[in-house]
Amino acid sequence: MTHRLTEEFTVDFEPLGRRARVPQGTTLLEAARQAGVGLNGICGGAGTCGTCRVRVVAGEVTPPTEAERVKLEPEAVAQGLRLACQVRVLDHVRVDVPPSSITAPQRAQIEGRERPVELDPAARAFDVTLTPPSLKDLRADAMRLRQALQRQHDVVVNRCDHGALCQLPDLLRENGWRVRLVVRDGEVIAVAPVGISPLGLAVDIGTTKMAAYLVNLESGETLVARGVMNPQIAYGEDVMARIAYAMDGEAKAYEIHLVLVEGLDDLARELCAQVGRGSSEIVEAVLVGNTCMHHMVLGLPVAQLGLAPYVPALAHAYDLKAQELGLHLAPGANVYLLPNIAGFVGADHVAMLLASHMCEAREITVGLDIGTNTEISLAAGGRLLSCSCASGPAFEGAHIHDGMRAAPGAIERIRLNAGSDGQPPRVEYRTIDDAPPVGICGSGILDGVAELRRVGVLRLNGTMQSGSHPRVRGTGKGTEFLLVAAGERGAPRDVVINRRDVNEIQLAKAAVRAGVAVLLEEAELEEGQIERVVVAGAFGTYLDVDSALAVGMFPQLPRERFIQIGNAAGMGAKLALLSRHCREVAEEIARRVEYVELTTHPRFVAAYTAALMLP
């Protein structure tokens, strides 16, 4: 091999599945930029902010620098963490990027911990060559195809999708009787010229956001991922508002269904366009969502989901044609929906249980999907218990005085430092995109409450002590804490945390903690026996586990028992897209789950009341 002055190396960023090709000596931060990975880097690569933490899992790089030794705690170093701005590439490298190191624009929450899976999709492609018809061989096109498929691939089909069948005669004749077929469950669902890989689409339909993944079903590769708002947001922020809208007559129920389907259709088209494909090449889609989103996308009535005993119309795993939903994918494309567990424990939670593998694990594991509704599962001793609690919208920044969604300008991290050497105490915070602070998102308010309690501003019961901090001030409506004063770092107005905000967080965190407590009681376990806590979902990804522990939302366990796994529902949807075995596992999970209804549970109220205080 000839000597090359500067050699190029690949840098793979996991779990994002992005790759850069860079010369030797390039920093990981530069490589990340090139690969389109939005790594935090508040100091711009000076090594002073310590936010661009990554773990090098394979390949040779430069040794830790002085800046890293200063900025990284010993435990972080022990875990192999590095600052991306300080690490230079010496070979092909694979890097693991923790969700907390990723900047806001990508926060549509599409990343999650991916696990490798054996490729075994429901829809598979086969190339066949047919003998052209003649006066001696007058078999119909459909029969000719069926027999060729059996002879050439030992695949038996008993049906051809009608849309695919309509395309077949011309396609055969235009392509010299050699075509590619996509077969699913004994049915030819698509026909195409040879060489075109069928596409799959996985979508996690959240109440607020949708995360979508476009996948090459032959290679298993994720071609592109994207997060967008759920277009139903225009009909209300939460599930109950949308149920109320849908109950106001058939036309409205249809309208709110249609807006969601059209949103999915747009999303599919845009994802495909981004990689130069067409959405008519998507042959299989997997959708997950909470039970209400599941019913709404299917056009099922939702009235019964809004009334006790909150019974779904449909719970088991469900297959239907994309066409039946009005989705414009391949004419014969199918849509698979994972099973629901109950009215408030939906297919998204099943997907999370699937992706986290927690049901297969030996450890006693708690899984949490934190949102307006929080779904909680407990896997212990072969049992699987699930419940849902109404944690309210505070974690999404709603019902908070200066609350907002996780968007540019939202304060997402807060630290209150004691003033040293006679200096007044400082408030440190980080905003999404480093934009001027305009409000507080869920992870910010959680940090805020945790810090205010830590520095003694908040009492056990959540009230604010006047005079406990220079920034505590009285208003006509009560006491509040001034987080950011108007004008500071370009802030257009004051940003505060008040007593009612603290109360919202108390109510929300108590619901989560009480849910865990009831499941533990049902399983006759103590908190301390929990070996692992898996935290999923958008808020679950960005929250600071220490803060969640500090406010008492989580069982008081050692920090290392917690794992944040990102958008596990989306990952679960992708697994179900790539593997029929994963579908079976998901269906088995839904069958096994023992659903625990909290609203009528004799122990819930006591557990909830006990959890309201701040530790």
For residue 303, state whether it binds a copy of itself (rule: CB under 8 A): yes
For residue 323, state whether it binds a copy of itself (rule: CB under 8 A): yes
Burial class (CB in 10 A: 0-12, 13-18, 19+), 499: middle
For residue 169, state whether it binds a copy of itself (rule: CB under 8 A): yes
Residues numbered 575-604 forming contacts with a copy of itself, rule: CB under 8 A: 595, 597, 600
For residue 96, state whether it binds a copy of itself (rule: CB under 8 A): no
Q: CA geometry: angle at 401 spanning 407 and 375, to 5°?
A: 65
CA distances from 473 to 40, 88, 423, 482, 486 (A): 34, 49, 19, 7, 15
Q: Which residues pair with 287 in a beta bridge?
A: 203, 337
Q: Which is nearer to a copy of itself, 148 or 160 (CB)?
A: 160
Q: Which is nearer to a copy of itself, 312 or 552 (CB)?
A: 312
Binds a copy of itself (CB under 8 A): choice among 141, 204, 369, 504: 141
334-337 vs 282-289, strand pairing mode: parallel
Q: Which residues contact 431 (CB under 8 A, 6 or more apart)?
A: 408, 409, 410, 411, 412, 437, 438, 489
For residue 112, state whether it binds a copy of itself (rule: CB under 8 A): no
Element counts in the chain: helices (H) and strands (E): 17, 27
Q: Tell me: cis bond preceding 309? Omega within 30 of 0 counts.
A: yes
- Minimum Å gap between C-beta 142 and a copy of itself is 5
Q: Which residues contact 480 (CB under 8 A, 6 or more apart)?
A: 401, 464, 472, 473, 496, 497, 498, 499
For residue 426, state whether it binds a copy of itself (rule: CB under 8 A): no
For residue 311, state whether it binds a copy of itself (rule: CB under 8 A): yes
* Among the residue ranges 19-27, 134-142, 226-234, 574-582, the one whose residues contact a copy of itself (CB under 8 A): 134-142
* Cα(536)–Cα(356) distance, integer angstroms: 9
CA distances from 482 to 138, 214, 495, 496, 497 (A): 84, 44, 6, 5, 7
* Among the residue ranges 135-143, 233-241, 375-383, 552-560, the one whose residues contact a copy of itself (CB under 8 A): 135-143
Q: Which residues contact 133 (CB under 8 A, 6 or more apart)?
A: 139, 144
Binds a copy of itself (CB under 8 A): choice among 46, 57, 58, 143: 143
Q: Which is nearer to a copy of itself, 138 or 418 (CB)?
A: 138
**DSSP calls for 561-609:** GEEEEE-HHHHHHHHHHHBHHHHHHHHHHHHH-EE--STT-TTHHHHHH
- Minimum Å gap between C-beta 157 and a copy of itself is 12
* Among the residue ranges 258-266, 313-321, 361-369, 526-534, the one whose residues contact a copy of itself (CB under 8 A): 313-321
- Minimum Å gap between C-beta 587 and a copy of itself is 13
- Minimum Å gap between C-beta 266 and a copy of itself is 22
Binding mask 172-201 for a copy of itself (x = CB under 8 A): -x----------------------------
* Among the residue ranges 312-320, 379-387, 524-532, 542-550, the one whose residues contact a copy of itself (CB under 8 A): 312-320
Q: With contacts defined by CB under 8 A, how many residues of the chain interact with a copy of itself?
A: 42
What's the token pair of residue 209?
């956001």
**DSSP calls for 328-397:** -SSTT-EEEEPPP-BTTB-HHHHHHHHHHTTTT-SS-EEEEE-SSEEEEEEEETTEEEEEEEE--GGGGT
* Among the residue ranges 212-220, 320-328, 530-538, 558-566, the one whose residues contact a copy of itself (CB under 8 A): 320-328
* Among the residue ranges 109-117, 188-196, 204-212, 337-345, the one whose residues contact a copy of itself (CB under 8 A): 337-345
Q: Which residues contact 193 (CB under 8 A, 6 or more apart)?
A: 171, 175, 179, 180
- Minimum Å gap between C-beta 292 and a copy of itself is 13
| In contact, 328 and 280? CB cutoff 8 Å | yes
Please name the helix (run of DSSP H) or strand (run of DSSP E) that holds residue 539, with its range, or none: helix 538-542
Alpha-carbon torsion (48, 49, 52, 56), positive or negative:
positive
Binds a copy of itself (CB under 8 A): choice among 117, 244, 313, 485: 313
| In contact, 292 and 345? CB cutoff 8 Å | no
For residue 170, state whether it binds a copy of itself (rule: CB under 8 A): yes
* Cα(566)–Cα(534) distance, integer angstroms: 10
Binds a copy of itself (CB under 8 A): choice among 239, 322, 342, 411: 342
Segments of 471-561 assigned E as strands:
472-475, 478-484, 495-498, 532-536
| In contact, 101 and 53? CB cutoff 8 Å | yes
For residue 133, state whether it binds a copy of itself (rule: CB under 8 A): yes
Binds a copy of itself (CB under 8 A): choice among 1, 78, 116, 134: 134
* Among the residue ranges 127-135, 190-198, 362-370, 547-555, the one whose residues contact a copy of itself (CB under 8 A): 127-135
Q: Which residues pair with 190 in a beta bridge?
A: 182
- Minimum Å gap between C-beta 173 and a copy of itself is 7
For residue 613, state whether it binds a copy of itself (rule: CB under 8 A): no
Binds a copy of itself (CB under 8 A): choice among 8, 75, 324, 360: 324
For residue 126, state whether it binds a copy of itself (rule: CB under 8 A): no
Residues numbered 282-301 forming contacts with a copy of itself, rule: CB under 8 A: 298-301
* Among the residue ranges 3-11, 157-165, 282-290, 421-429, the one whose residues contact a copy of itself (CB under 8 A): 157-165
Q: Which is nearer to a copy of itself, 314 or 407 (CB)?
A: 314
Amino acid at 462: G
For residue 418, state whether it binds a copy of itself (rule: CB under 8 A): no
For residue 440, state whether it binds a copy of itself (rule: CB under 8 A): no
Contacting positions for a copy of itself (CB under 8 A): 133-135, 138-143, 160, 162-163, 165-166, 168-170, 173, 298-301, 303-304, 308-316, 320, 323-324, 340, 342-343, 595, 597, 600
